[in-house]
Amino acid sequence: MAKIEDILALEQIENDIFRGTATETLLQRTFGGQVAGQALVSAVRTVEPAFGVHSLHGYFLRPGNPDKSIVYQVERIRDGRSFGTRRVTAIQNGKAIFTMSASFHVEDHGIEHQDTMPTVPMPDDLADAVELDEPEYAWARKEWSEWEFRFVPQDRIARRPGSASQQQLWFRSRLRLPDDPVLHVCTLAYMSDMTLLGSSMVIHRDEKIQGASLDHAMWFLRPFRADEWLLYDQTSPSAGFGRALTQGRIFDSSGRFVAAVVQEGLSRT
């Protein structure tokens, strides 16, 4: 499969218009994380380097064709002294398949606090998903062989009181990535879509559903590297009417809370 640097290497075809090439995949539809990651790259390339992305909010409008390239059109909504805003529309076959707003911020000083990382087994104490013979992890062996996933067994998760459905895993790129912080941010946008909707299925293992990402929101809280271990602490607080709400907190191995994710996905039977 394609390397993440190749997936996120967009071609600029006009002012504020970029193109992402099709990449090798086994999926029937373009992976949502790929569209979100490429859209974020296009937005980043229209702001000054002093501005770092701190949030994104996206909607998946139509399924993408993985065999065709995608064009990203960026609108410069605002350029302020501290904040900047971009709106990106991903277009394929003349139709919008994804739209995203991204906000950028120049670092300020202010109050500081964070949640404590859950008590979980460390990655070295867990099996690599590609070594597990369970069908639900087959996608990890085929589609994302360059990413390392280590799921925390359900009987070793420290349960949050009242949590309906919960899942935890460690993940990272198997390959060392360039030092560019922007690449790591856009890589995490790509990776954040990989397992999150699965947290809604933990207590519905025997159900057959049609699943797809509907929307995706992220907040980037602290610096990190996507080629170092990150803990994805996921919950699904609600599912009903053919939709499932999922949430994720991402910590680095030292316990720093680096990103937060919320996604609603299709989950109809």
Catalytic status, residue 166: no
Single out the catalytic residue among 166, 200, 213, 234: 213
Return the closest-CA partner of residue 247 out of 211, 207, 200, 208.
200
State the angle between helix axes of 181-191 and 32-44 in degrees (0 to 180), rounded to the nearest 10.
150
Helix and strand numbers, DSSP H then E, in the chain:
4, 12
Single out the catalytic residue among 92, 199, 263, 267: 263
Pairing state of beta strands 166-173 and 147-151? antiparallel
Return the closest-CA partner of residue 12 out of 54, 59, 45, 34.
45
Please classify residue 259 by burial: count the beta carbons closer than 10 Å to its beta carbon, then call 0-12 exposed, 13-18 middle and 19+ buried: buried
Handedness of CA 153, 159, 165, 170 (dihedral sign): negative
Catalytic status, residue 263: yes
Q: Exposure string (b/e) for 235-258, b if CB count within 10 Å is 16 or more?
A: bbbebeeeebbbbbbbbbeeeebb
CA–CA separation, 191 and 213 (whole Å): 13
CA–CA separation, 111 and 127 (whole Å): 39
What are the beta bridge partners of residue 84? 79, 104
What are the beta bridge partners of residue 35? none
Catalytic status, residue 92: no
Single out the catalytic residue among 165, 193, 199, 234: 193
Q: Catalytic residue numbers?
A: 193, 213, 263
